[in-house]
Amino acid sequence: MKKLIFLFALIVVTLTATQNSFAQNYKMPVTSIDAKGKITDAKGKHIGWVTSDGIIKDAAGVKIAHVDNAGNAIDAVTGKNLGKASKNGTYLYHVKSGVSDSLTVSIPMNGVCEVKDTSGKTVLLVHENYKQYGACAMHCLQLKNEHKDMKMK
């Protein structure tokens, strides 16, 4: 009888452990930039590239913006200033009402930085190689994918 109870308990523990191993990721999926500069959205779709010298391209490889030496994000088509990417990765962008908003970047944890909006919500995971350009790239690509005007000033 003891062996039967032990066997039953072992089966219950095994089934419970198996179910928990298939549990979904508790974190909400967010846009990410990997070590090669590939940008994928929250659904895993490739939406663009960012290079180590600050060039931002869409998924087709078309240049949509770049970050100059002063840290200004410049629209590739109009040449207009879209925002300011500082050395620590914080990205200050301009919205149509004339007010500025920002995305802040955390220090690297295991080679990955979190980009958070003003409310503290994580909106992007970026490899530390692209810390300076990551928030800017995400902002530009989201505007392009939503077919919004990138002219901010």
The answer to whether residue 139 sits within a structural domain is: yes
The answer to whether residue 13 sits within a structural domain is: no
The answer to whether residue 2 sits within a structural domain is: no
The answer to whether residue 21 sits within a structural domain is: no
Q: What percent of the chain has pLDDT over 70?
A: 75
pTM: 0.67
Which structural domain, as residue segments, surrounds residue 117?
A: 29-145
Q: Are 65 and 136 in contact (CB under 8 A)?
A: yes
The answer to whether residue 63 sits within a structural domain is: yes
The answer to whether residue 53 sits within a structural domain is: yes
Nearest-angstrom CA–CA distance, 48 and 64:
10
Domain count of the chain? Answer: 1
DSSP three-state, residue 108: coil
Per-residue pLDDT for 2 more than 50?
Answer: yes
Nearest-angstrom CA–CA distance, 38 and 46:
7
Higher-confidence residue: 145 or 49? 49
CA angle 124, 103, 91 (to 5 degrees): 110
Q: Which of 5-9, 59-63, 87-91 has the highest mean pLDDT?
A: 59-63
The answer to whether residue 98 sits within a structural domain is: yes
Higher-confidence residue: 130 or 57? 57
pLDDT in tens, 16-69: 766 655 544 455 588 888 989 999 888 888 989 998 888 999 999 999 988 888
Nearest-angstrom CA–CA distance, 39 and 31:
7
